[in-house]
Amino acid sequence: MAIEIKVPTVGESITEVTLSQWLKKDGDYVEMDENLAELESDKATFELPAEKAGILHIIAQEGDTLEIGAVVCTIEETADKKGASTPADPAGKASPEEQSAQSATTNQATASSAPVEIKVPTVGESITEVTLSKWLKNDGDEVAMDEDLAELESDKATFELPAEVAGTLQIVAKEGDTLAIGAVVAKIIPSGKGAASIATASTSASKEVEEEKEQNYAAGTPSPAAAKILKEKGIDPNTIKGTGKDGRITKEDALKANANTVVEKETVLIAPPPLNKTESAPASASKPTAGSREERREKMTSLRKTIAKRLVSVKNETAMLTTFNEVDMKPIMDLRAKYKDKFKEKYGIGLGFMSFFTKAVTTALAEWPAVNARIEDNEIVYSNFADVSIAVSAPKGLVVPVIRNAESMTLDEIEKAVRDLALKARDNKLTIEEMTGGTFTITNGGVFGSMMSTPIINAPQSAILGMHNIVERPVAINGEVVIRPMMYVALSYDHRIVDGRESVSFLVRVKELLEDPARLLLKI
């Protein structure tokens, strides 16, 4: 009896997910609760476990967008793994694989007169069609196996189409035709010798594949972490040499992999043949184009599509303004330099800037509650707590996990929360709950060198604080020009809720607390 494995409910606001990667193959035996695939929503990535032990039958494919409740696969329940896969035959009969190979050999031998279709092969991920530029053989000619039949021309190179079997050629496509990948170009009626060669080649090839799999089944197979990295880089795992056990591609191999290397390998595979002595090179060949002009297309992930929709929606549906100020970071930097070693020794975490900014923000939010509010229907909702969202750049896009009740946390608790959320974001392990809610957002573009920016509000919140790069600049203090480490800070806010007086006063209050950290401790 087969049971259906469906897309589970992962959140009230999530209606569909994308099947990003299968962790098992069709026909594999799986244990109960073993992870089958990775599903990706617009907020997080999570695994799909097996509800029963049995044989996996895949229905949905990688890249498919599935609604909640859609069937992803089925599992055929079996007594055990051995009985499910290849049971021993007490009568000494051949195994299913051998029976299949023998059956294929018999069918091919009896169908010696059946035409063999010669199709356009796959020549590159970005190539979807080719042009049949020239036939090298005539209709009705006798051709040998592996003999070149025609020249096919893609938008990148010209290559030959070989005969897959010996026999009589029957031309289907004409010179000049544009053919899709997989289209039939010609047919070959095998001769007796050709049919026998097919059976022999098929049997030997299947044996070689089985032997190779038995000897080195893991060669070229990426680990789940490596597969994610290679997919994000757009790199084919087949072009990477693994350094792990039995040739498995490790996470380190994927991190070191360079897309340029893959492009070079693909170009070599489909490189045009050398010109004959009687042929002359085209005039354009003497004027090579400087630099590469190749392009690649990638399907937008659900996360990226959701980010795009929300940012455009915020720009269109809010009255967003931005006010700026600058902060003298010397007091905080001096405090960190003095106590950072003792702080780390006591709490086991480094003392960074984010904890100071978070504490300053929560103090200012309590004094200016409109900045911590949101609009729901025709009402303004004021929160007497501060759930601070921290914008984090994850491998698949921007995510904004939330620090709950940040107003009641100490500096070390905030630093630990930021570290834990950042690590989860890097590994795509954030849960829906950890990214839901939030009353105010902090984003730090300074880590990438941003001098000044206008951050976009994280709806339905009413404001967001942007931190920027710290740069030493001359400033006037007490009538003297001195060099100080300065940071521009920006507050983007929804003018429907927050007035100019409130936004400016909020940012000034944050500036005062940061330039005099003792106020954070004394709460004054």
How confident is the model at residue 415, as a pLDDT? 94
CA distance 355 to 418: 8
Q: Contact 440/365 with Cβ under 8 angstroms?
A: yes
Q: Contact 398/310 with Cβ under 8 angstroms?
A: no
CA distance 522 to 505: 20
Domains of the chain: 2-84 (2.40.50.100), 104-215 (2.40.50.100), 224-278 (4.10.320.10), 302-522 (3.30.559.10)
How confident is the model at residue 204, as a pLDDT? 54
Strand partners, 84: none
Strand partners, 162: 148
- Residue 270, SS3? coil
Which of the 8 DSSP states describes residue 406?
G
Residue 170 CA: distances (Å) to CA of 142, 191, 364, 401: 10, 13, 81, 63
How confident is the model at residue 270, as a pLDDT? 41
Give the pLDDT of the chain (524 residues) as one tens digit per residue: 788 999 888 766 677 888 888 989 998 998 888 889 888 876 677 788 888 889 999 999 988 888 888 999 999 887 655 544 444 444 444 555 555 555 545 554 444 568 889 998 876 555 677 788 789 999 989 988 888 898 887 654 467 889 888 889 999 998 888 888 888 999 998 875 544 544 554 455 555 545 544 445 456 677 666 776 777 777 877 777 777 656 767 767 777 776 544 434 443 344 444 545 444 444 444 555 677 888 888 877 766 777 788 888 888 889 999 999 999 999 999 999 999 999 999 999 999 999 999 999 999 999 999 999 999 988 999 999 999 999 988 777 778 999 999 999 999 999 999 999 988 888 878 887 888 889 999 999 988 889 999 999 998 999 999 999 999 999 999 999 999 999 999 999 999 999 999 999 999 999 999 999 988 888 78
Q: How far is it between the farthest Cα atoms of the chain? A: 102
What are the catalytic residues? Answer: 495, 499
How confident is the model at residue 300, as a pLDDT? 76
DSSP alpha helices (H): ranges in 348-379?
353-367
pTM: 0.51
CA distance 126 to 399: 30
DSSP for 228-264?
HHHHHHT--GGGS---SGGGPBPHHHHHH--HHHHHH
**Residue 7: both structure tokens together:** 């897309």
